[in-house]
Each structure stands twice: as structure tokens, then as C-alpha cells.
Structure 1
Amino acid sequence: MKVTQERLPASQIGLEIEITPEITKQKYDQVIRNLSNTVNIPGFRKGKVPRQVLIQRLGTTRVKAAALEEIIQEGIEQAIKQEAIAAIGQPQLRSSFDDLINNYDPGQPLTISAAVDTVPEIKLNQYTGLEAKAEEIKYDPTQVDTIIEEQRAKLATLVPVEGRAAAIGDVAVIDFKGVIAKAEGEDPDTEPKPIPGGEGTDFQVELQEDKFIPGFVLGIVGMNPGETKEVSAQFPDPYANEELSGKAALFTITLKEIKTKELPELDDDFAQEVSEFETLDQLRASLEERYQKEAADKTKENQQEALLKELLNYVEIDLPTTFIDQEVDAMLTQTAMKLSQQGIDVKKLFTQDIIPQLRDRSKPEAIDRLKRSLSLQEIGKRESIAVTAAEVQARVTELMVEYPDQDLDEDRLRGVVEEELLTKKIVDWLLEHSSVELVPEGSLTAIEAETDSAVPEAETSNPE
């Protein structure tokens, strides 16, 4: 079989395959024999239909098409094997099937054109000595005080207050009923429309400005127990209930009781109640260590991300469509699984109309992920970076102990762990052989924001 190769974009190889006269005749005759044994033609037994009658009844085009399907499939498979091409995905027919039928003459040579995706060549122009900038995330000591105060608030007891008006920070016990405020020009005799779910009795509300819709809490502040008051409020736009989005509301509120939070003492007893530690000092030390580690981990993540972005400036990969489609499939599958775990009906969300749009929007991220992954794999090969079986098993054992209630497939988990550990080793190696300057948190974000805001001006500016 004569095969001519041609290098195509997107890591494809074009194939011109010349099918021999013997094959074109053999396949045609074979199809006729098969059809003769399967097709019912009145007046003839199966297998006894004369050739010319069969062709006349079925039509030459149908017979040729059946023969061509086998010729194309087998011809492409043999060509890939003969040329030792590392093909991925399904081959594509580049010839027009209609043209092939017109050109197909059994017993004469036939040329078909096809294309196959191949593993892309990865060109790394540089991967050491890279320079980048990353934001440094510093440990904030106030995080410890914040989390401790949150735990104190959870253990707070509510104590009735008398002799004063409600203030921010109190807990108010109220009866309330809300209606949608009448719009300007609306008939004043029209009955106001009740707000769905907008009423309650002996309802406890914490008087913080971010609680409920704007205006509701501030309307309670300053009220005295036993007082009834009409309070104006405004539903935000957008709002969860679209019918209420942006609507003005009027609430009739009766303040029945004021309570204040009494926080527990910050002592060892408190530490024992909210944690496994015996003393408050031990609890604080543990929280400090946790948040310091979080800050360090986030800083390293920023360094890695900055380095990988810089690396892609020196990488050339002509990605095949097969790789991109597979990565998009994986991304959408992961998204669907997460949404399903949250109780969302994925079938209603991922409709036939929406899926093509989701695929198009996912392609840029899929391409970025593939380039990163393939580049790291190539660097790992060049620098002989590998993980040992002992390292993989140690991590697998840790995870099995950490998640005893989950039905984990140990063999599958081992493959995931091996890939993660190898990626980590390669990225750590890159960090050691490059320079990533740490800059204050927010500085790079501010620069990006300024750049983005300047783009529209540049696009709309008049060069004259």
C-alpha cells in the first residue's frame, strides 16, 4: 500500500492512501456476496440472487457505499500501522465521500485522503532562569482574635435588657409583617400586596446592619419594648426572589423584648469547650501555627502560579483537537459531579442547547491546563525527575487513614497520587532553578485592574 504523509496544523498528519486494484475489486465482490445472503428479494432465495439483479434492485451507489466504508476503515488502519504513526483519537476522512463513490471503479486503484491526530511535539525554548513576580501573603495576627471571638459568640448566652432602647449588637424579639410598598401613582385604595414569607411572631433578629434587607435592622434600632412602628426597607437588586428584586417594602414591627449577648470568659475553660486543648495559650499557639502555614502555603501557590504563567511564554505546543476535546470533557464532568453533590439537577442545567456554549467557554482554560501539564511532563523527562513507589505508597496510606469512611479505590488513588507527587516535584525543581520575586499582597492585582480598565480607553481613543 502506497502512503504519502503530510504534516498538518494542530499536530495532525495527513495521509494520501492508494488502495490497490485488487482490494477495490475484492471488497466490492465481498459486499455483493454478503448482501446476497441477507437481502430479501421476491422470487429468489437468499444467496441465490443473480449479481446483476441484486445491483439493479439495490442500486450501484448503495453497493459502492457499503464497500467503501470497509475500504476506508481498513485502509486508514493499515496505513497508520504501516507508517508506525502514534495516532490518538479517531482518524478523520478528508476526502468527500460522494467524490469517492463517483471515483470508485472496482478493479481500479483508488486514493483516499485522511488525517490523524498525533501526540504533539513540545518545544521548550527555556525553562530555567525564569523570572516572575508573586504576591506574598503575610500572616495576620488578628485572624486568631477573630476566630476566637466568633467561637465566643457561638457560646454566648442571651440576657434580657430593660430600661433602654434597642441598639446595634442587641438581639431583638419582634413580631413583624411586611407588604410591598405602593408605587408612585398607584391607586391608594388598592390593598397592599403581602410579602411571601414576610411575617413572623417572636422572631429573634440580631441587630447588625448586614442582617436582612437594607433598612429593616436600622428601623428597629432606637425602638423600646412594647413599641410598634412602620419601617421602610428596600429589597436589593438582584435578589433571590426575582419578583421582589429592587422593590420597596413596608414592615409593621412590634418590639417585644431586647436581649444582649453575654460572652464567656476567655480562659482555659473556654479553650477546653471549643477545642481539644487544655489551655487558652495552647489554643492560640495552634491557631497561630495554622494561619501562618496557610499564609505560607498561599504564598507558595502564588509563586508556582506566577512561574507557570511565565513558563508558558517559552513553550510552543501545537495541541491536537483530540487532546483539547478530552480535556474539555474532563472539566465539564468535574463540574457536573460537583454540582450534583450540591443537590443540583445537572440534567436541567446541562441541556443540549447549553452544552456547546459550555464547551466553547471551557476551551481556553482547557488549552492552558494542557500546555502546563505537557510542559511539566517534558521537563520531568529531560531532568529525570521521578517519584518512588515508597513515596506513593506512603501518601496513599495517609489518605486511606484520613478518609476511612470513603470507599476509595486504592489502585486508582495510587495513580492520582503518583501524578500529584510528580507534578509537585517538578514544580519545586522549577522554583529552585528560577527567580520569583515576592511583592506586597494586592500590588499585582492593582496593576492588572489598572491595565484592564485602560483597555477600553485604548480601543475607543481617536488616533487623530
Structure 2
Amino acid sequence: MKVTQEKLPASKIGLEIEIPADMSKNAYEQVIQKLARSANIPGFRKGKVPRQILLQQLGTTRIKATALEELIQDGLQQALKQEAIEALGNYELRSDFEELVSQFKPGEPITFLAAVDVQPQVQLSDYNNLSITAEEVPYDSSAIEKFLEERRVEQATLIPVAGRPAQMGDVAVVDYTSRFVSEQEDEAQEEISGGQAEDAQIELLEGRFLREFIDGIVGMNPGDSKEVEVKFPEDYRQDLAGRTAMFTITLKDLKEKELPAVDDDFAQEVSEFETLAELQADLEKKFREKADQEMSANKEQALVKELLKRVEIDLPETLIQREVETMLRQTIIQMGQMGMDVKKVFTPDMVKQMGVRSRPEAIERIKQTLALEEIAQRESLKTEPQEVTDRVNELLQQFPDQEIDLERLRTIVEGDLLKEKAIKWLEEHATIELVPQGSLAPEETEQQAETNTPEAIEAAQAEDSEVEATATESVLEAEVSEVE
């Protein structure tokens, strides 16, 4: 089989494939034989239809089209094997199919054009001594006191309050009803669905409930009733966001928290340790480790950000779509595990828009992975079988009741470990300046900002509508069934 290759943009290889005469004849004859065995033609039994009658009834164009479809599929597979091309995903037919059908003559050669996505080439420069700035994350000893105070609040005993009005920090037991405040004076005031409660325990702290509601209770005495006007925040649930309501509140009871002493008994109550000193030592160890992990994450993010400036990769669409679908699956599964009805929330249109918005991040993730893999290859970084096994066992312990493809898990783990080694190598060979925490403001690149505009989303949807519609269907079908 004669095959001519051509490099195309977006990591595609164009193929000109010439199907030999004998192959075209055999394909055509095999299609006729199959149709003769299965065709339902009045007056003839299956398998007994004369060839000429079959051609008249089905038409040569239909038979040639069927034969050509098989020739293209078989020819492409043979061409990829012959040329040792590792293709990603499906092929793209670059010739006009109807024109091919009209040109096709069984027993004569036929040539068609196709293209396949292949693994991209990574162009990487000057990664040997990166210069970065990262935020330092110092250990904060006050974190221990804050943790213990939170546990004290959790272990607090509620005791009745008498002789004073409600104040911040109390726990109020209230009945309340609510209704929307009408814009027109003569308009009936509509009750809010779900906006009523009896014997509700409300902790009078900022951020625990609606601010005006909390402020309205402060100063009330048990037995008092009061009307409090509340404006719902713009990011509240859809039917209430930005609207104004009137709450009628009756304070029935008032309690305050009595906090336990921080001693050995308290340590035994909130932990597995016998003494307060042991608990404090363990907390210090964990908070120091947490600070170290956060600082390592800051260094890693800075290293990867700098690395991406030095990498050029012409990504194929197949890889991008795979990464987008992976991100959508992860989101849908997480939302399903949180109890959301994914069938109602993740409509095809919503998933399609999510796919468009995920595209820039997907591209960045692919570039990061490929760049780190390239460094691992250039620097001869390897993973040991035992460290892969140890990490796999750790993950299996976290998900003891789930069926997991061990071979696929080992492949994923090996890839992750290799990327970790590449990042560690970069850090060891980089110049790193540590600056105070909070001194580096988060940045949104121009590309990200432009990608998130409605105009950009609409343009991307128009460009990729066919591909993303298919991706949307596959993601929804696979993940909705998995969540259920």
C-alpha cells in the first residue's frame, strides 16, 4: 500500500493512501456477498437473490459507498501499522466522500486523504536554572490556641440567661415568619416559602445567619416580638437574591455558652491523648507540617508557572477534548457525591458551556504534564517499583469498598510520581526567593480573562459545537449513570 505522510498544524499527520486494485475489488465483492445474504427482496429467498437483481434493487452507488467505508477504515489501519504511526483518537477524512464514491471503480486503485492526531513534540528551553519568587508560609503558633478555642466552643454547655437582653455570642431560641416587602403599598405581601420556623436555635455570631436578622435579635428580651427588615444578598438562592423581606421574630428563650477549662480532661474529651501537653505537641507537629506543605505548594506553582513560559507545544484537539472531559467528569462526580441531582443541574447546555470555560485550564494542565514528562525523560528520572506499590496501597486504603482497575491505577500513580520527581529536580536546580506571605497578589492572565467573556464563549461554542456536543453526551451518559 502506498502511503505519503505530511505534517499538519495541531500535531496532525496528513496521509495520502492509495488502495491497491485487488483490495478495492475484494472489498466490493465482499459487500455484495453480505448484502445478498441479508437483503429482503420480494420474490426471492435470502441468499438466493441473483447478482443483477441485487444491483438493480439496491443500486450500485449504495454498494460502492458501503464498500468504500470499509476500504477507508481498513486502509487507514493498515497505513498506520505500515508507517508505525501511533495515532490519538479517531481519524479525519480530508477527501470528499461523495466524490470518492463517484470515482470508485472496483478493481482499480483509489486514493484518499486522511489525517490523524499524534502525540505532540515538546519544545522546551532554559529550564535548568529557573528563577522564581514564592511566598513563605511560616509556622503560626497561634493556630494551636485557635484550634483549642474552637474545640472549647464545640464542647460548651448551654445555660439559661436571666436578667439581661440578648447579646452577641448568645444562643437564641426563636419563632419567626417572613414575607416579601412589596414595592407598592397596596400590593399584598407574599409569604416566603420555607421562611418560617419554630424553636429555631440561632447562634448570635457574624456569618452564622443573615446579618440584619442577627442584629435585630441583639437587645431583645425573652418574650419580646419584633419586626426586622432584611435584604437578601445578591449571591443568595435564586428566588431570594437581592429581595427585601420582613421577618417577625419572637424570642422564646436565651442561652449562653459555658466553656470548659483547657486541661487534661479537656484533651481526653477532644482527642486520643491523655494529657494537654501531648495534644499541644501533636498539634504543633501537624501545623508545622501544614505550613511546610503550603510553602512547597507555593514553590511548585511558581516553578510550573515559570516553566510554562519556556515550553511550546502544538496540542492536538484529541488531547484537549480528553482533558476537558476528565475535568467535567470530576466535577459531576463530586457534585453527585454531595447529593446534587446531576440530571437536573448538569443539562447538556450547561455541560457544553462548562466545557468551553474549562478549555484554557485543560490546555495548561496538558502543557504542564507534557513539559514535566519531557524533563523526566531528558534528566533520566525514574520511579522505583516499590514506591509505586507503596503509593498504590495508600490510595487503596482510602477507597476500600470501590472496584479499582489496578493496572490503570499503577499507570496513573507512576505518572504522578514521575512528575513529582521532575518538580523536585527543578526546585533543586532553581533560584528561589522567598517573600512574606500575602505579598504576591493573584493574577488573572489576559488570555483567561478574555476566554471567560460571553463573546469568547459564544465564539468557542460555534467553533467546536460538533466536537463538544459529542463530548457532552458521552460525559453525561457515563457520569450520570456512575453517580446513580
- TM-score, normalized by the shorter chain, greater than 0.5: yes
Contact 2:171 2:202 in 1 (8 A): yes
The Cα of 1:402 is off from its aligned counterpart by 6.0
Percent sequence identity over aligned pairs? 53
1:426 corresponding residue in structure 2: 422
Map 1:73-222 → 2, pairs under 5 A: 73-183=73-183, 185-187=184-186, 192-222=189-219
Contact 1:209 1:218 in 2 (8 A): no
- Normalized against structure 2, the TM-score is what? 0.85
Contact 2:135 2:298 in 1 (8 A): yes
The Cα of 1:403 is off from its aligned counterpart by 5.8
What is the distance in 2 between the residues matched to 1:449 and 1:129? 25
- Aligned CA distance change for structure 1 residues 131 and 257 (closer, same or farther; 3 Å): same
Matched position secondary structure for 2:191: strand
1:293 corresponding residue in structure 2: 289
The Cα of 1:245 is off from its aligned counterpart by 2.9
The Cα of 1:307 is off from its aligned counterpart by 0.7
Matched position secondary structure for 1:337: helix
Contact 2:182 2:188 in 1 (8 A): no
Matched position secondary structure for 2:236: coil
The Cα of 1:8 is off from its aligned counterpart by 0.8
What is the distance in 1 between the residues matched to 2:198 and 2:345? 38
2:223 matched to 1:226? yes
What is the distance in 1 between the residues matched to 2:50 and 2:176? 91
Contact 2:180 2:243 in 1 (8 A): yes
- Supply the AA of the counterpart residue of 1:164: R
Structure showing greater Rg:
1
Contact 2:328 2:351 in 1 (8 A): no
Aligned pairs, number: 449
Deviates more, 1:33-42 or 1:379-388: 33-42
What is the distance in 2 between the residues matched to 1:201 and 1:443? 48
Contact 1:307 1:436 in 2 (8 A): no
2:262 matched to 1:262? no
In angstroms, what is the RMSD of aligned CA positions? 2.7
Contact 1:10 1:321 in 2 (8 A): yes
- Supply the AA of the counterpart residue of 1:116: V
Contact 1:158 1:261 in 2 (8 A): yes
Map 1:3-402 → 2, pairs under 5 A: 3-183=3-183, 185-187=184-186, 192-240=189-237, 242-400=238-396
- Aligned CA distance change for structure 1 residues 70 and 307 (closer, same or farther; 3 Å): same
The Cα of 1:194 is off from its aligned counterpart by 3.1
Structure 1: gaps (5+ residues): 456-464
Contact 1:214 1:236 in 2 (8 A): no
Contact 1:214 1:234 in 2 (8 A): no
Deviates more, 1:43-52 or 1:105-114: 43-52
The Cα of 1:297 is off from its aligned counterpart by 0.5
- Normalized against structure 1, the TM-score is what? 0.88
Matched position secondary structure for 2:192: strand
Matched position secondary structure for 2:123: strand
What is the distance in 2 between the residues matched to 1:54 and 1:199? 76
1:460 corresponding residue in structure 2: none
Structure 2: gaps (5+ residues): 451-484
Query: 1:313-353 CA deviation, whole Å, 9 max, x = no partner?
Result: 11122222222222222222222221221122223333333
Matched position secondary structure for 1:178: strand
- Aligned CA distance change for structure 1 residues 287 and 53 (closer, same or farther; 3 Å): same
The Cα of 1:26 is off from its aligned counterpart by 3.2
What is the distance in 1 between the residues matched to 2:356 and 2:365? 15
What is the distance in 2 between the residues matched to 1:41 and 1:225? 90
What is the distance in 2 between the residues matched to 1:80 and 1:13? 11
What is the distance in 1 between the residues matched to 2:67 and 2:394? 58
Contact 2:177 2:248 in 1 (8 A): yes
Matched position secondary structure for 2:164: coil
Deviates more, 1:405-414 or 1:341-350: 405-414
